[in-house]
Structure 1
């Protein structure tokens, strides 16, 4: 296969993958990406839920229920009682970690309000818009470890372009499964437009063998 033919095949696979699985997890949770306090907070909540050992679809539904209950901002989350958070997570079937997560989300809301005045753009400023430092600061939120921080950055990279390119280990695993290069810079070159939907689609390819086989063989 010549270099030109290989690149054409890679682009075909990218387009097929995006057509089948190109929504971000944030979009699934009803989050409208923007460099504004509310959606950035909602992305933090989602990253907290997705990073647990639980199916992503359940985490997304748990986030939707929390937002519907009033937790769309740090203040709104803090105003919810612990039981209200537990109940919202339960409605989303996020039951395995519901009680501990309800506690951690309350602590996250307090930290977001006390340190960043409810606005995670202040976190980016404190980090000097350096991705490594952003990840370090994110891990100070209860329930957000290195995995959760990378999920946040992966989903936020089109809102905060200074983070780009973010293709974490799971996205790179998906790239390998469908025969794409795994280096983040190479993947960014293959993306046609925003990187976050492509990264999310690669994660789905890593998690869904049937999807990966359709894309690789389609």
Structure 2
């Protein structure tokens, strides 16, 4: 059933928990190489069957250990990455993910010259961006959707974008699952936050698949 006042519903959702996942993971998102790389790592961590708050906690531990750029991730040891993931509670997939993070940092170097902004330069829209970032190991369609959903906050030409989870939650809340229609009820610059908030409404909690 359609919401008779979608603007109010969007406002209430943003007031309830209007954070992006990048904010939760302390990515410090800007259109610069290091923050965009950290977002890519966060999306990779959130691609597995694990709660996104655990992915965010693990990301924060990686940053605290200094693994904030592709070069620093490549320079880290496998055990250092495992230990950082473990401190964040990311123990179920810590060993395989520690390997994937190093491989992903190599992809960022070899494919994009250590600058994730190259993705945007090469791609003509959200679908192409989502396809391109799946070159990163362990970052499948779900993680690619998370990346695009978050990066639209700084790559504004991709806005408005909803991944499948956020679109399903929008429909369940009586809102349009069509990004263009939904954007008409959201303050300028807030669509990424709304999309993240909607994702948190999905079954089982935040990105809990």
**Do the two structures share a fold, i.e. TM-score over 0.5?**
yes
- Structure 1 residue 158 corresponds to structure 2 residue 146: no
How far apart are the structure 2 equivalents of 1:189 and 1:163? 15
User: Relative to structure 2, which stretch is displaced further, 79-88 or 112-121?
Assistant: 112-121
The equivalences for 1:77-88 within 5 A come to 77-88=73-84
Mapping 1:68-79, distance limit 5 Å: 68-79=64-75
SS at match of 1:206: coil
SS of the counterpart of 1:108? helix
Q: How many residues align?
A: 203
Find 2:136's aligned residue among 137, 141, 144. 141
Q: What's the CA shift string for 1:103-122, capped at 9, x where partnerless?
A: 00000101111221211111
Matched, 1:16 2:12: yes
1:26-77 CA-to-partner distances (Å, cap 9, x unmatched) read 0001111211001100000000011110011101101110111111110111
With normalisation by structure 2, the TM-score equals 0.92
CA distance in 1, matches of 2:157, 2:144: 15
Off by >3 Å, runs of 4+ in structure 1: none
Structure with more helix by fraction: 1
Give 1:208 deviation, angstroms: 6.4
Aligned to 2:120: 124
Give yes or no for contact 2:126–2:161 (8 Å, CA) kept in 1: no
Contact (CA 8 Å) 1:29, 1:60: kept in 2 or not? yes
Q: SS state of the match for residue 39, structure 2?
A: helix
In 1, Cα distance between equivalents of 2:131 and 2:8: 36
Partner Cα separation in structure 1 for residue 125 and residue 164 of structure 2: 19
Alignment of 1:65 onto 2:45: no
User: Bigger radius of gyration, 1 or 2?
Assistant: 1
Residue number in structure 2 paired with 1:213: none
Q: Which residue of 2 aligns with 1:50?
A: 46
| Offset, 1:88 | 0.3
Match of 1:90 in 2: 86
Q: Gaps spanning 5+ residues in structure 2: where?
A: none
Q: Distance in 1 between matches of 2:56 and 2:167?
A: 22
Q: Relative contact order (alpha carbons < 8 A, sep ≥ 6): 1 or 2 greater?
A: 2
Unpaired runs of at least 5, structure 1 = 210-218
SS of residue in 1 equivalent to 2:162: coil
Distance in 1 between residues matched to 2:128 and 2:8, nearest whole Å: 36
Give the superposition deviation at 1:162: 2.2
Select the residue among 186, 196, 203 that pairs with 2:199.
203
Look up the match of 1:216: none
SS of residue matched to 1:205:
coil
